[in-house]
Amino acid sequence: MSNRRNFTAEQKVAIVRRHLIDKVPISELCEEFQIQPTQYYNWQKQLFENAAPAMGRRSNKANAQRQADAEARKLAQLEAKLAAKNEVISELMEENVKAKKLSGEL
């Protein structure tokens, strides 16, 4: 007959939480739940490795739309700035060509 016990994810989190929050010694938890300390440490490792998504910022449609609108405005501003620069460069090139023609370099 097998002595293997299956704990749910909620049970595992509760056990790890009791040690981390309530400061229950690991030895007591292992004795109470009939688990090995290595099993406890594996659960704790899994908890910390998978905690990042819980701490991440959830995006919503309104926030995503605002970000998209802001990016579109910024892109439009940059395109306008680039067009103005191209226009200035074009005018300067024309003046340069005219000056060279007048001086006989062309």
- The domain locations on the chain are 1-55, 68-106
Closest CA to 13 of 45, 47, 55, 60: 47
Residue, of 53 and 1, whose pLDDT is higher:
53
pLDDT for 106: 67
Q: Once rounded to an integer, what is the mean pLDDT over residues 4-21?
A: 93
Q: Once rounded to an integer, what is the mean pLDDT over residues 5-9?
A: 90
For residues 100 and 106, is the Cβ–Cβ distance under 8 A?
A: yes
Q: How confident is the model at residue 104 (pLDDT cuts 50, 70, 90)?
A: confident
Q: What is d(CA 99, CA 91) in angstroms, rounded to the nearest whole number? A: 12
Residue pLDDT, tens place only, 30-88: 999 999 999 999 999 999 999 888 887 776 788 888 899 999 999 999 999 999 999 99
Does the pTM exceed 0.85? no
Q: Which residue type is seen at 75?
A: L
For residues 38 and 46, is the Cβ–Cβ distance under 8 A?
A: no
Q: Once rounded to an integer, what is the mean pLDDT over residues 4-29?
A: 94
Residue 2: is its pLDDT beyond 70? no
Tell me the chain's radius of gyration from C-alpha atoms.
33
Residue 106 in 3-state DSSP? coil
Query: How many CB atoms are located within 10 Å of the residue 43 CB?
Result: 19
pLDDT for 1: 46
Q: Cβ neighbours of residue 13 under 8 Å, at least 6 residues apart?
A: 47
Closest CA to 11 of 36, 49, 40, 52: 40
